[in-house]
Amino acid sequence: IATKEPLNPIKQDIKKGKLRYVANIFPHKGYIWNYGALPQTWEDPNHTDKITGCCGDNDPIDVCEIGSKVRSSGEIIQVKVLGVLALIDEGETDWKIIAISVDDPEAQKIHGKKHKPGYLEATIDWFRSYKVPDGKPENHFAFNGEFKDKDFAVEIIKSTHEYWKALLHKKADGGAIKCTNVLVGGSPFCCSEEDARSIVQSVRAIF
């Protein structure tokens, strides 16, 4: 999600002028779940989380969807929230919501760790080490890497949604984030559909 571009398009990430890809962390290849984000959430980099003691990472809250189907980039799905992991990524709070698509065959029976044994442990290992191939140190976790339950996760989602609302109404400093939108009534960043089409057309013209 290109938060620094108008209308926040989904595109290939670029870091230091190069296309960014996730490294393979043995024995895994790439991501071990469908990796996405919850819209209308924001981890405020100017707010110190009382739980983790670190500020937010300036992004929407991340979601690890553990269903059996491999999803397409940009696909929008409804999920059942299962829990949350508090990752401390380079000194920033980076919550990871654990969820499963509501249309997954196992969605109704999965409520905690007893299903898909080893999956959550693998998730911990993955997030701990995924930046090591880039020469960075291992990441750390709040709660000693303990996953918090659904109720805890929902409260985190609610709080990040409130930060997002503050951002969209200029009650929080978003820095370089582009908040242009067509749906948030009362937001000073709200534009018409015609203006949005013009933005899209101008980007297409570049390419």
Please give the pLDDT value at position 109: 87
For residue 9, say if its preceding peptide bond is cis, omega within 30 degrees of 0: no
Cβ 13 vs Cβ 20: under 8 Å: yes
Report how far residue 3's alpha carbon sits from residue 176's, in angstroms, rounded to the nearest whole number: 8
% of the chain residues with pLDDT over 70: 96
Please give the pLDDT value at position 155: 97
Please give the pLDDT value at position 6: 93
Six-digit token pair at 77?
Answer: 């799905």
Q: Looking at residues 176-201, what average pLDDT do you find?
A: 96
Q: Looking at residues 166-177, what average pLDDT do you find?
A: 97
pLDDT per residue over 123-166, tens digit each?
999 999 999 998 999 999 999 999 999 999 999 999 999 999 99
Report how far residue 147's alpha carbon sits from residue 85's, in angstroms, rounded to the nearest whole number: 5
Q: Looking at residues 97-119, what average pLDDT do you find?
A: 84
**pLDDT-based confidence at 14, cuts 50/70/90?**
confident
Q: Which of 14-18, 156-160, 174-178, 201-205 has the lowest mean pLDDT?
A: 201-205
Q: Which of 42-51, 98-107, 197-206 has the lowest mean pLDDT?
A: 197-206
pLDDT per residue over 20-36, tens digit each?
899 999 999 999 999 99
pLDDT per residue over 69-87, tens digit each?
999 999 999 999 999 999 9
Report how far residue 105's alpha carbon sits from residue 133's, in angstroms, rounded to the nearest whole number: 35
Residue ranges and CATH numbers for the domains of the chain are: 14-202 (3.90.80.10)
Please give the pLDDT value at position 207: 54
Find how far residue 162's CA is from the centre of its chain.
Answer: 16
The closest alpha carbon to 137, from 96, 95, 88, 94, belongs to: 88
Six-digit token pair at 191?
Answer: 């534009």
